[in-house]
Amino acid sequence: MVQLAISQSEYEQRIENLTKILVKKKLDALYLTNGTSFFYLTGYSYITTERPAALVIPVDGEITFMGPLLEIDHIPLKTRLIKNIKTYPDYPGEKHPIDHFAAFLRDLGFDRKRIGIDNPAGAAGIWGYTGPPIKKKLPQTKFVDAKDVVPNMRLVKSTEEIELMKESAKWANLAHTLLQEYVSPGLWDVDIALTASYEASMIMKKTLGPDYEPLRAFRPVGAGFRGQVGSMSAIPHSMSTKRVMMEGDVLVTGAGADVGGYSCELERTMIMGKPTEKQRKYFGVMVEAQKAAMEAFAPGKKCSEVDKASIRIIRKMGYGTLLKHHTGHGLGLEGHEPPWLDVGDDTVMKPGMVFSCEPGIYESGFGGFRHSDTVVITEDGAEVITYYPRDIDSLTIL
């Protein structure tokens, strides 16, 4: 049977591990404003808006959610770990949410305690939110910087997390297969992306059954080009393009699927029509760079070594001026998360860490060339869990 979410026992273990960290740091509680941290620790997803929300995890006692009234019926549907729910009507309100939070913390007995906090404002602070920092409302409370506590817990993935990402890779593979199948001159990339994503999502739901639901994304599977079509493929983080696909275009794709809130990363470079000599050359450079990076993954080695390995190949082949980004990044609950496959990140790789591996080269006005695969560090090396074809013949659309 396919696992579709993190188990209750694993969430409970995460809370237990967190409280041990808090005790070691001599903290009475942890105050979190980051929605990803909410989900990691409890399985509850909060859509961050202008309305502030916080999760308070004490060393002793019940986990408390402080947030807008609109979440009061949502939380019990998603988690059994949040026992105490304290709400305010809305933002900005007659009484500011931070004033409510200060009162809630006093009621909980934290007004003279040591509290770790991931954001000194006491709120995520997006979409026009303004308000006083929580420490101004509780001057006798000692707030301690703890922004790295939960992110550090997330660096090494558990067996359950990796299994969810492997399942994600299966559906990303299907979505990409459909994406490539539907590519045709004269079509807008958005048409193809929506069709492939919809069909893959429906097949995924039908196959996994009634218990499946996306927990962090708004759709099960997403696949597309994000405007990286033709010369726009040379823009690594392009958003869109207004023109349709044409013969001779370089296409850079992306696909992922939400399984239990986790996703893999799968990206490919495709060529529409018979590749030119220059396209073949650039494609080959990119493939060799990714191969070198793949060979550099191993427990005990530094993240910077992977980046250096791919850069070395690209420069050796004479294309160093076409580099625009590092080799990759951590993956899990977010599309980008630490550690970074970058010359400036000497984090030592450990079994259970998961990365994208995506060296690329980009020539303005011509095209971009990038594959991305998801790599899991193992006890004796690394495992690539995405498996869509990487060779130019398989990725040429005639």
CATH architecture of 159-397: Alpha-Beta Complex (3.90)
Mean local confidence (pLDDT), 15-43? 98
The topology under which CATH files domain 8-154 is Creatine Amidinohydrolase; Chain A, domain 1 (3.40.350)
Length of the chain measured in residues: 398
CB 58 within 8 A of CB 41: no
- CA 125 to CA 119: how far, in whole Å? 9
Mean pLDDT of 245-254: 98
Q: What is the pLDDT of residue 123?
A: 96
Q: Is 158 exposed, middle or buried (0-12, 13-18, 19+ CB in 10 A)?
A: middle
Please tell me whether the peptide bond between 120 and the residue prior to it is cis, using omega within 30 degrees of 0. no
Residues 353-367: tens digit of each pLDDT: 999 999 999 999 999
Q: Which residue from 380, 309, 32, 4 is spatially nearest to 160, judged by alpha carbons?
A: 4
Region of 226 (left: φ > 0; alpha: ψ -120 to 50; beta: rest) is left
pLDDT at 185: 96
pLDDT per position as a tens digit, 106-164? 999 998 999 999 999 999 999 999 999 999 999 999 999 999 999 999 999 999 999 99
What is the pTM assigned to this prediction? 0.96
Q: Of 293, 193, 202, nearest to 253 (Cα)?
A: 193
pLDDT tens track for 295-313:
999 999 999 999 999 999 9
pLDDT at 1 over 90: no
Task: Give the position of tokens 């739901």.
Answer: 205
Contact status, residue 157 vs residue 332, Cβ threshold 8 Å: yes
Domain boundaries of the chain, sorted by first residue: 8-154, 159-397
Prior bond of 339 cis (ω within 30°): yes
Q: Which residues contact 350 (CB under 8 A, 6 or more apart)?
A: 155, 156, 299, 377
